[in-house]
């Protein structure tokens, strides 16, 4: 069977999704939708797709789609996913973060469960062969018992924005190995005279510092209410059968320049610390470099680089098929497998919801003075909105939505 696919939201990330959908086996990208016609037309020409719609519902209905890719910004993820599930699509790949609140994520998962729709969240890092390799290394006991993890952000955005836009990938990566966190304790800080002052000593972020993401960082996407320039958080994980006997993971996120003084880019990184060694994972999204330090802790000495043999370790030959966007291709082929085998996607809606749970847990803990907060959260709304509401304050002013014009290389073919 060939699965008919449609893409919704023809902005920047649609470039990788169109490439992934076009390279995947047994999938045909037949149609595109965007409310902003200039992007729709540019994408149509660039991706060689001529069935174009400004209304995604009309597109799904007329084109009898099996699969959709939701490439809009976060506020549209839940309404589009829920509508598409109700309309009967078989599979959805939705961009990260899954949604703006746990309640929205719950509604997406419930709608997909009711309709029998497979929901995948585009934490495409999960399709990188090295992430499978790390699973194997841990299970073979190469670093002994996993005892701790450390996550460091790459910077370049206020921590509040990064939680929703970048750290969602790193939280998801950690969860492959650590499982579901049981609790979080966190603090968010800003410069002494307010947010955005990286040159000043830090103070705890206050209720007046809660803003919309595009106020905090005008170049960023709309990912709802955010708080803080820096973030320190500790997550606790209970024992996980065949994996570990419980561990804590600490996060450091700084609003610092994205390049070092020598011009090298920073990558977000994750260290997995065991009794017999440490695994260093650098990167997310389109690469994860893996290095191993054998032995008990020691000043950094000789690190061994590990690279997975892609075909042998990850399912299917998507790495070779999708040269332009191999892991997006992997996400699509994994979705087809999930539909045909009636099972969850490796990057399922439930996994995507856990990443959001960890982000909202950071906010909830900070709201409660750094208290240890149990996960999953009992309150399913946005903790920052709750903080404002309980203090009798209005929501902060929301900046006007900015349309980003799609910029694509020369049309394909
Ligand atoms: N997984 C990754 O590595 C990765 C990388 C980049 C972006 N993203 C995510 O992708 C999402 C989109 O980011 P972007 O930079 O491409 O955004 P963008 O603003 O460039 O593009 C979004 C597009 O969606 C369109 N749109 C808005 N509402 C719509 C609707 N109701 N129906 C149809 N189209 C609609 C807009 O007109 C715009 O063209 C974000 O959630 C972002 O976090 C993920």
Task: Report pLDDT for 412.
Answer: 41
Contact between 39 and 405 under an 8 Å Cβ cutoff? The reply is yes
Mean pLDDT of 296-301: 72
Q: Please report the atom of ligand 1 found closest to the CA of residue 122.
A: 1
Ligand 1 contacts CB of residue 285 (under 6 A): yes
pLDDT tens, 302-349? 789 998 876 677 776 677 666 778 999 999 999 999 999 999 999 999
134-150: average pLDDT: 95
Beta bridge pairs of residue 116: none
**What is the spatial distance between Cα 323 and Cα 316, in angstroms, rounded to a whole number?**
14
Phi, psi of 100 (to 5 degrees): -90, -25
In degrees and rounded to multiples of 5, residue 273 shows phi and psi of -105, 120
Residue 286 binned pLDDT confidence (cut-offs 50, 70, 90): confident
Answer whether 196's CB lies under 8 Å from 236's CB. Answer: no
Examine the pLDDT at 235 and tell me if it is beyond 60.
yes
Query: Which amino acid residue places its CA nearest to atom 25 of ligand 1?
Result: 9
Of all protein residues, whose CA lies closest to atom 6 belonging to ligand 1?
Answer: 13
pLDDT of residue 211: 98
Ligand 1 center–CA 302 separation, angstroms: 42
How do residues 5-51 score in pLDDT, each as one tens digit? 999 999 999 999 999 999 999 999 999 999 999 999 999 999 999 99
The DSSP call for residue 178 is H
pLDDT tens profile 390-400: 999 999 999 98
Statement: residue 266 has pLDDT above 80 = no
Q: Is the dihedral of CA 368, 360, 239, 173 positive or negative?
A: negative
Percent of the chain with pLDDT over 70: 95
Query: What is the residue extent of each domain of the chain?
Result: 3-121+317-346, 126-313
Is 268 close to ligand 1, i.e. is its CB under 6 Å away?
A: no
Is the beta carbon of 75 within 6 A of some atom in ligand 1? no
Distance 378 CA to ligand 1 centre (A): 29
Among protein residues, the one whose CA lies closest to atom 33 of ligand 1:
34
For residue 208, pLDDT over 70 is answered with: yes
> CA angle, corner 264, sides to 259 and 266, nearest 5?
60
Q: Whose CA is nearest to atom 39 of ligand 1?
A: 11
Which one is predicted more confidently, 308 or 63? 63
- Is there an atom of ligand 1 within 6 Å of 214 CB? no
| Beta carbon of 34 within 6 Å of any ligand 1 atom | yes
pLDDT value, residue 366: 98
Ligand 1 centroid from CA 114, angstroms: 26
In this structure, are strands 230-237 and 247-253 parallel, antiparallel, or unpaired?
antiparallel
- How many angstroms from the chain centroid is the CA of residue 123? 5
Q: At residue 299, does pLDDT exceed 80?
A: no
* Cis ω for the linkage preceding 97 (within 30 of 0): yes
pLDDT value, residue 413: 35
Three-state secondary-structure class, residue 64:
coil
Give the Å distances, CA to CA, from 300 to 164, 267, 269, 278, 307: 32, 18, 16, 10, 20
Q: Name which of 272, 224, 262, 190 is nearest 401 in CA terms.
A: 224
| Mean pLDDT of the 233-246 span | 97
CATH 3.30.465.10 fits 3-121+317-346, yes or no: no
How many other CB atoms sit within 10 Å of the CB of residue 320?
A: 12
**3-state helix vs strand vs coil in the chain, percent to 5:** 35, 25, 40
pLDDT value at 281 more than 50:
yes
Please give the distance, rounded to the nearest whole angstrom, from the Cα atom of residue 139 to the centre of ligand 1: 37
Q: Is 96 left (phi over 0), alpha (psi -120 to 50) or beta?
A: beta
Q: Is 76 in the pocket of ligand 1 (CB under 6 A)?
A: yes
CA 298 vs. chain centroid, Å, equals: 32
Using the atom order of ligand 1, give the atom closest to the CA of residue 124: 1
Q: Which of 7, 8, 13, 359 to mutate to test the pocket of ligand 1 (most atoms within 8 A of CB)?
A: 13
Give domain 126-313's CATH number out of 3.40.980.10, 3.30.70.260, 3.30.360.10, 3.40.50.1980: 3.30.360.10
Q: State the Cα–Cα distance between residues 281 and 125, nearest whole angstrom.
A: 12
């Amino acid at each position: 069977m060939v699965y008919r696919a449609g893409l919704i939201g023809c902005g920047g990330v649609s470039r990788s999704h169109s490439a992934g959908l076009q390279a995947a086996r047994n999938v045909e990208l037949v149609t595109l939708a965007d409310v902003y016609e200039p992007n729709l037309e540019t994408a149509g020409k660039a991706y060689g797709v001529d069935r174009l719609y400004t209304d995604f519902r009309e597109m799904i209905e007329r084109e009898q789609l099996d699969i959709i890719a939701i490439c809009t910004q976060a506020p549209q993820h839940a309404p589009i996913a829920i509508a598409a599930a109700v309309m009967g699509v078989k599979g959805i790949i939705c961009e990260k973060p899954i949604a703006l609140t746990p309640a929205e994520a719950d509604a997406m998962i419930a709608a997909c469960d009711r309709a029998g729709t497979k929901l995948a969240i585009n934490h495409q890092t999960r399709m990188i062969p090295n992430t499978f390799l790390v699973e194997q290394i841990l299970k073979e006991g190469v670093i002994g018992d996993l005892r701790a993890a450390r996550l460091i952000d790459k910077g370049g955005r206020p921590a509040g924005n990064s939680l929703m836009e970048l750290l969602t990938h790193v939280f998801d990566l950690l969860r492959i190995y650590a499982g579901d966190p049981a609790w979080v304790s966190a603090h968010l800080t800003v410069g002494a005279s307010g947010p955005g002052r990286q040159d000043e000593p830090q103070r705890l972020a206050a209720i007046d510092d809660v803003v919309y993401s595009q106020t905090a960082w005008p170049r960023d996407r709309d990912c709802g209410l955010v708080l803080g320039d820096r973030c320190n958080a500790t997550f606790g994980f209970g024992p996980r059968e065949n994996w570990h006997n419980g561990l804590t993971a600490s996060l450091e996120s700084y609003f610092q320049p994205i390049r070092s003084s020598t011009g090298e880019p920073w990558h977000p990184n994750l260290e997995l610390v065991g009794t017999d060694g440490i695994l260093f994972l650098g990167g997310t999204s389109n690469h994860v470099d893996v290095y191993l330090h054998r032995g008990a802790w020691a000043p950094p000495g000789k690190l061994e680089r590990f690279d997975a043999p892609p075909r042998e370790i990850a399912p299917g030959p998507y790495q070779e098929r999708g040269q332009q966007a191999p892991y997006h291709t992997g996400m699509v082929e994994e979705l087809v497998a999930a539909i045909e085998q009636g099972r969850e996607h490796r990057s399922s809606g439930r996994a995507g919801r856990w990443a959001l749970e960890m982000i909202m847990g950071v906010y909830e803990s900070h709201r409660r003075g750094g208290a240890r907060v149990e996960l999953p959260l009992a309150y399913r709304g946005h903790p920052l909105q709750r903080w404002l509401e309980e203090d009798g304050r209005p929501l902060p002013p929301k900046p006007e939505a900015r349309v980003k014009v799609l910029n694509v290389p020369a049309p394909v073919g």
